[in-house]
A and B are shown apart, each in its own frame.
Chain A
Amino acid sequence: ENSPAPLPERAIYGFALFLGSWFGFMLYLIWAYVPETWLFSLGLTYWPQKYWAVALPVYLLVVIGIGYVLLFGINMMSTAPLNSTDTVTDNYAKKQQRKKFQEEAIPALRDIPISEVNRMFFLPEK
């Protein structure tokens, strides 16, 4: 039911969004460029100050720039420190059930404890 194929409803939504965004852009240009006296003579007196026509795009660009730094910082803060048990295990590994060992079958997939992994890697088998 959730295929990405084009449907008539999706075409209508897309066209409505297209018209809406063009209308919004034209409105923004009119508000930014048409002098205030002309707007007053038309009766449109309660529009925001034209200062915002420049301020809002600048705010948006600064937010995008800060967003890069913020994402980097959030990533660094969410990394587990070296002394936390999250580097060794987690809730799923603690609650896992061990399946019985069957002869001549591939062993079941499980989280191997770090002590076993270390022994296998670093202590040579005699």
Chain B
Amino acid sequence: MEERRYLSASGARIALRHRQHSASCGELAVRCPRLRLRSLSAATSAAWLAAYGLFVVTENSMVLSAAIVIMLVGLIMYLHFVKIDQESLLVIGSLGIQVTSSYASGKESTTFIEMSQVKDVVINEAIHMQKVIYYLCILLQDPGDPQGVSEVVPLFQSSKPRLDCLIEVYKSCQEILEQRKTPPQSS
């Protein structure tokens, strides 16, 4: 199990941890940078200074208590719903693929895709917000058409790793997925 440092599409430092449990089971986790104390204090000071300015203008002390409450509630909601700490991918060759996102407040949300629904795991390029980015995605099989793709599930949406990290993840996923085609050796 090793951890390697990479850069995300926006320049933040992320870390990739790759654990190979067995030949047909691998786990890849991308850890996003933590919430910095200086950005938190900068945002808090800016919001409280604005609230104090509003208090000086309107002479209403409710503005100050409202600003404090909004800051606290907003911070808790940001940590619980927006700020992602780690995104991981667990590929089990005969069973399926599990995608987990853990938020900064400790909440985890998982999605499991059964292996018969998975057509392939590929690196796709697409236009996203005036940039062209590479992103890893799972192609789901169309039940009616063996060559068709019914759905595209993008992975690592918040950490957005760059191509070097994505190639690592792609290679380990392909090693496990290739074993699907060849029938198992032991009967």
Contact = CB atoms under 8 A, between A and B. Distances in A.
A83 B124 contact: no
Contacts of A87: 124, 126, 152
A80 B124 CA distance: 13
Interface string B121-164: 01110111100000101010000000111111110010000000
Given A82-B128, A94-B148, A123-B171, A118 B123 contact: yes
Given A79-B127, A94-B148, A115 B122 contact: yes
A89 interface: yes
Interface residues of A, number: 18
B174 A123 contact: yes
Please report whether the interface of chain B is mostly helix, strand, loop or mixed according to DSSP.
strand
Count class of interface residues, chain B: 20 to 34
Contact of A88 (B128, B129, B149): B149
Contacts of B129: 76
A119 B170 CA distance: 10
Interface of A: 76, 79-80, 82-85, 87-89, 94, 113-115, 118-119, 122-123
